[in-house]
Amino acid sequence: MGENTDPQELDRLFSPRSVALVGASPNPYSGGYAYAVHLLQDFKGKFFFVNPRAEEVLGVKTYPSLSDLPEQVDYVICSISSEKVPSLLEECSRKGVKIVHLFTARMSETGREGGEALEREIVEKARRLGIRVLGPNCMGLYNPEVGLTYGYSFPEEPGPVGGIFQSGGLSTDFVHYGYLRGLRFSRVVSYGNGRDLDESELLRYFSWHPSTRVVAVYLEGVRDGRKFVGALREAAEKKPVVVLRGGRGKTGARAIRSHTASVAGREEVWGAVLRSCGAVEVDSFDELLDQLVAFAFLPPSTGRRVAVLGGGGGKSVLSADLWEREGFELPDLGPSLREKLKEMCPGEWDWVGNPVDFSILQERPVMPQEWLEMMDDSGDFDFFVFNLTEDDPLPEEVWRFWMEEQVNGLLRFRRRGRPLLAVVPSAGVDSRELRRWRWEAIGEIRRRMVEEGLPVFPSAERAARALRRFADYWEKRSRKGISPSCSSGS
């Protein structure tokens, strides 16, 4: 489909110095209101509101039309009804606009002939005028570097994660929930029907984009299979590309037609294509987040020998089961480490093992940091998993003290720069719980870990699944002889 823009040029389009919002609205239920708020609060460049039926929106003067603006603009956010878009494009052309984001929807995704025809007309017209179109039927662009955003509470600071989302709601969830896991974003693009700027061109863009180290993709279908395969292969050789597909089942395939007018491909073909391109496929939104956390926070590694520490017996046993299920091995403690332990805890040295069951250790407090260091020094382990032991039968003060000790030790060990991750169960509780100190404290600990750049997972199974795909990806890359150093983690 159409002519592509060079990635560097596309980056200029994605970093506008001035934006016009056509359809700025005082109605807080509307997109025209939300974009007005975001421009007002976050955008670092110049912006203008257009609305022929209002004098001002949120205290900002509005212009009756784009043509009435006092100067040229780089980027237009369009939140007016679809039939008015073609004439808007003429005005855009006269104002030097190079890209139009169509928040405007109700086109091909309605399944009606008129919608499909209008969408085609708009894109063809834009091409003739040399204007790129993002959408229609999408949330658009989040670029924290210039303060362009489409969601409430999106972080202001940028980061290494890029996102290509066919669904605007999922991309919003991705930023909101990813933020809490410590993810920060270079750019996230919600591209909806993708009639002009499509998934392939966006992949090429993120593949090139220097400060993007890992890319998340949510796809419901592709416009041009051949082009997509080429773009994906190229991108996945440069940096990890994590793909979540919608419409894999019968009903999902039906639902995507009414969502982004996509046509899902044959399931068996899809899996094979993604694998052969070197992409990392995940099966759910939670897995998408987990996978991004792994790639964003851990240095490249192909190792499968894992040290598991923390938690009582049951948690240790279940953790071991789940890590092994994903193809990892938990080597037992070696002879020299046993010798050291023999001095430190003569009654437990031969009883404790890997996973390290903290409830066994009662003779002498071998602290988490000490354990981690000894295991690291042994050279027998590629990475380290810390299960936060929050189920000890201890009264509040003692419990808090012991938790603090664990976390401080963990964060001190982290200075060694060894691959380390934490498993902290999520209670699914927020504020105002009846008996709240426990959950508040665990929440604080999780926040502290995340702020320190530690990858935190809510369960052993989710951690193990993400780490398996992580190690598989780096193994495949190293087999191809591509050094992982270029996209090394923090």
- Residues 343 to 382: which contact a copy of itself by CB under 8 A? 350-355, 357, 359-360
Q: Does 440 bind a copy of itself (CB under 8 A)?
A: yes
Of residues 225-264, which lie at the interface with a copy of itself (CB under 8 A)? Answer: 244, 246-252, 254-256, 258-260
Of residues 194-223, which lie at the interface with a copy of itself (CB under 8 A)? Answer: 218, 220
Stretch that binds a copy of itself, among 26-34, 122-130, 336-344, 471-479 (CB under 8 A): 26-34
Q: CA angle, corner 462, sides to 460 and 468, nearest 5?
A: 95
Q: Give the number of other CB atoms < 10 A from CB of residue 293.
A: 26
The whole-angstrom separation of Cα 187 and Cα 164 is 9
Contact present, 224 and 159 (Cβ < 8 Å): no
Instruction: Give the residue with the Cβ less far from a copy of itself, 212 or 354.
Output: 354
10 Å CB burial of residue 397 (0-12, 13-18, 19+) is: exposed
Nearest Cα residue to 362 out of 420, 319, 402? 402
Instruction: Give the residue with the Cβ less far from a copy of itself, 131 or 361.
Output: 361
Instruction: Give the residue with the Cβ less far from a copy of itself, 75 or 328.
Output: 328
Strands in 104-262 per DSSP E: 132-134, 140-142, 161-165, 185-190, 214-219, 241-245
Nearest Cα residue to 45 out of 75, 16, 81, 85? 16
Nearest Cα residue to 147 out of 44, 14, 8? 44
Q: Is 288 helix (H, G, I), strand (E, B) or coil?
A: helix
The whole-angstrom separation of Cα 375 and Cα 458 is 24
Provide the token pair at 146: 């210039």
Rg, the chain, Cα only: 26
Work out how close the CB of 322 gets to a copy of itself at its nearest, in angstroms, rounded to a whole number: 6
10 Å CB burial of residue 29 (0-12, 13-18, 19+) is: exposed
Among 47, 386, 399, 413, binds a copy of itself (CB under 8 A): 399
Strands 18-22 and 46-50: parallel
Which value, to the nearest 10 degrees, does the dihedral of the CA atoms of residues 455, 460, 465, 469 take? 40
Of residues 298-327, which lie at the interface with a copy of itself (CB under 8 A)? Answer: 311-318, 320-325
Q: Does 101 bind a copy of itself (CB under 8 A)?
A: no
The whole-angstrom separation of Cα 392 and Cα 11 is 52
Among 111, 225, 271, 453, binds a copy of itself (CB under 8 A): 111
Among 25, 82, 143, 172, binds a copy of itself (CB under 8 A): 172
Instruction: Give the residue with the Cβ less far from a copy of itself, 131 or 454.
Output: 454
Q: Which residue has the tokens 């890590």?
A: 323
Q: Does 397 bind a copy of itself (CB under 8 A)?
A: yes
Instruction: Give the residue with the Cβ less far from a copy of itself, 51 or 316.
Output: 316
Among 210, 335, 395, 481, binds a copy of itself (CB under 8 A): 395
Of residues 257-296, which lie at the interface with a copy of itself (CB under 8 A)? Answer: 258-260, 283-286
Among 340, 426, 468, 484, binds a copy of itself (CB under 8 A): 426
Q: Which residue has the tokens 């964060």?
A: 411
Among 70, 335, 417, 428, binds a copy of itself (CB under 8 A): 428
Of residues 42-81, which lie at the interface with a copy of itself (CB under 8 A)? Answer: none
Work out how close the CB of 114 gets to a copy of itself at its nearest, in angstroms, rounded to a whole number: 11
Work out how close the CB of 136 gets to a copy of itself at its nearest, in angstroms, rounded to a whole number: 13
Instruction: Give the residue with the Cβ less far from a copy of itself, 49 or 474.
Output: 49
Q: Does 430 bind a copy of itself (CB under 8 A)?
A: yes
The whole-angstrom separation of Cα 23 and Cα 64 is 10
Q: Give the number of other CB atoms < 10 A from CB of residue 103.
A: 27
Q: CA angle, corner 258, sides to 256 and 260, nearest 5?
A: 60
Instruction: Give the residue with the Cβ less far from a copy of itself, 91 or 290.
Output: 290
Q: Is 218 helix (H, G, I), strand (E, B) or coil?
A: strand
Instruction: Give the residue with the Cβ less far from a copy of itself, 180 or 272.
Output: 180
Q: Does 33 bind a copy of itself (CB under 8 A)?
A: yes
Q: Does 110 bind a copy of itself (CB under 8 A)?
A: yes
Stretch that binds a copy of itself, among 70-78, 118-126, 149-157, 224-232 (CB under 8 A): 149-157
Among 461, 467, 471, 477, binds a copy of itself (CB under 8 A): 461
Among 51, 62, 459, 487, binds a copy of itself (CB under 8 A): 459
